[in-house]
Every structure is written in C-alpha cells, then in structure tokens.
Chains A and B, each alone.
Chain A
Amino acid sequence: MIFAERKPIEEILGKIEGCKRVLIAGCATCVAECAVGGEAETETLAPLLSMARKRAGSALDVVTRTVEKQCEWEFVEELADDVGAADAVISLACGIGVQAMAERFLDTPVYPGVNTSALTMREETGLWVSRCAACGDCVLGETFGLCPVARCAKSLMNGPCGGSRKDGKCEIDENLDCVWNLIVERAEERGQLEALSEIRAAKSWSNSRHGGPKRVVREDLRQ
C-alpha cells in the first residue's frame, strides 16, 4: 500500500491561518490502512485543530469527510459541496489524492496533511515495512522474491555489503534485516545459491522516477 505519515500539527495550523472553515478530507484506502488518513484520523485531527485555534483566540469550524478514494474523480466529486463551503481543504490522502483534489477544486487551496513516504506492507499490527520502490524494472524474479531496491539501504544489486552485521541485520538499523542476507539464505534453502553468481544485465533505471514523470497510455482501455 501507499504509506504516509502524519504531518506536525503546527505545520498544518500554519497553512490554514486565517481560515474560518476547513474541510478535512480523508481517504478510505491506503492511508486508512496505514492509520494516518482514514475516517478515524480525520476525526482525530478535527478536534485538535479546533482546540488549537480556540486557544489562539480564533475559532475554526472544522468539517470532516472521508471518501473511498481521493485518487479517482468519481469519489472526489462527492466532496464538491463541502469544498465549496470551506476556506481550505486539508487532505489526508497520499500525494496523488491531494493533487486530484487540487486539480478538481481550483478555487480552494488544498493542503497535504500527511507526508507520503513509501510503498509498504503491514508486517504486524502497528508495523509497516518497505517492500517496493516502484523502480520500473522488477528484479524479484532474480532475487528470490526479495526486493534489494526497496529493502537494501543502498539499493545494491549485489550483496551483502561489508556493512551487514553478523546477526544478519543492516548497519544502519539493528532492527532492519539485511535483505541480501535474506536473499542468500533463501537461495540456499532452495539449493540455488549458484544462481546468484550469474552475471545479470545491468538494471535499467530508465523506467523509474529518474526517467521522468510517468505517462502511460493503454489504447486497449481508452474510450
């Protein structure tokens, strides 16, 4: 899922200074799964902003709405009336949702309430870990299903590096598994360690973010 983290409340308050009515717009998909931008989080942020503004002597009317997806026009449209009545919108969606809102509602400023930071999976309750970097040239078929781009601190294509610890952890974080150690272990378990000795073609980064903004056209789907 797309993972995001809450922005400091002070930063959000700074953006809506002078506003009398704001809409906090939640998204019930990825950011709800990572407990930062769903309905519960909109309802948490609303009283905080209200209390902070009361203390500052300038009351704020806060409205909350959560839609299924802020990255789909059909769902964004559901917010039209509430956005129209607000001086500003705080979107708790990922960066995609914030931009969709800003593009649809040109007359109302839309501010992000979260920082979108990773593509993760929830490993345990309350624990999210990076699993994908959207690099555009997937190597999981060669690395036994473990991603060195997202899960190695250096995104190395060969490893482990000299910084891995004896216990199989990464030098940058004692709680972080060295993914290349895991790759080697999994290769050994499958009896395919020699596969890691094969010379692989250089990874293409041209389809990643370094290759510029993505615009994909699928003529088979277009109307």
Chain B
Amino acid sequence: MARRKQESDGGDTRIVVFYCQHTVSDLTRIDPITDRAEGLYVKPVMLTCSSKIQVSHLLAILDGQAEGVEVVACPKRGCRFLTGSTMAEKRIIHARGLLEEIGVSGERLGISWKSGLSADALVHLARLRARAIQELDGKEGNA
C-alpha cells in the first residue's frame, strides 16, 4: 500500500513524473510517495504544458536524481497549446537517442498521453515505468 512520504529510502526506484496541468482532474498538488512493497519512489511535478520539459532537464534528472522519468502529456489533438504534446514527444525521442549513444536504455524515459487523471492513475503510470526500469537494471546496471 502506498504511503505519503517526502523522500526516497535508499534502494527505491525513483521516478519523476512531469505532468501537464491539463492531464489531471484536480489541480491539487500531488505529493511525492514511497511504495515500500514495490521499492518505488514517485515525485510528481506539474507543468503548465508538457512541452516545458527540456532534454537537458530529463538527462540531468537521470544523472543521479532518479532512475526514470515519465512525462504525461495531453492527447495530441487535445493540447491547449496545439503542439505541446508533440514537442514533448520529440524531446523524449531525442533524449532517448542520446541515452542510447552512451549505452543507457531509452526506456528510462517514457511519455503517455492522458486526460482526466486521478493522483492514483498518475502514480500508476510511474509504477509501469519503474517496472520497465527494474527489468533493465539487471541488464545494463545503474545508469
């Protein structure tokens, strides 16, 4: 069972979730959580638009702050900024390519297109990303 907590315990798979403010049903701040059972720490970060993410931010997070990043964007045709969700996807693809160049799996970065999400649904997306990364860890070692 997930419990609210501000920081990760050592050994958790840390996932930062960047989500567009328009993807959630409630704009109330979502606090970081730790799920001991799954060894998961999730830090949600709300953005005004998913296109606010930059490749440099994604890579800096992977360089020590977290094992994975999930970007949650609006459905492409539902983006209030028209091209925000598409730009976010392009940045994820570019960042994945750079990671692959140094032998790190691009699976550490993910993107989903959603709307009307609850806090639990957001955490679930992080959980899926964490599971993918936990499978990788045995293969590629720590990034």
Contacts and interface: CB of A to CB of B under 8 A. Distances in A.
Contacts of B55: 40, 44
A55 B143 contact: yes
Interface string A12-54: 0100000000000000000000000000110110111011101
Contacts, number: 49
Binding site secondary structure of chain A: helix
B53 interface: no
A9 interface: yes
Contacts of B64: 50
A8 interface: yes
Given A47-B62, A50-B63, A55 B56 contact: no
B6 interface: no
A219 interface: no
B54 interface: yes
Interface in B129-143: 141-143
Contact of B102 (A40, A41, A46, A51): A51
B30 interface: no
B63 A55 contact: no
B103 A44 contact: no
Interface residues of B, number: 17
A43 B60 contact: yes
A125 B103 CA distance: 30
B101 interface: yes
A55 B102 contact: yes
A124 interface: no
Contacts of B59: 44, 47-48, 51
A48 to B, nearest CB: 6
Interface in B94-137: 98-99, 101-104
A198 interface: no
Contacts of A46: 56, 60, 63
B101 to A, nearest CB: 5
Nearest to A40: B56
Contacts of B103: 52, 55
B56 A47 contact: yes
Interface of A: 8-10, 13, 40-41, 43-44, 46-48, 50-52, 54-55
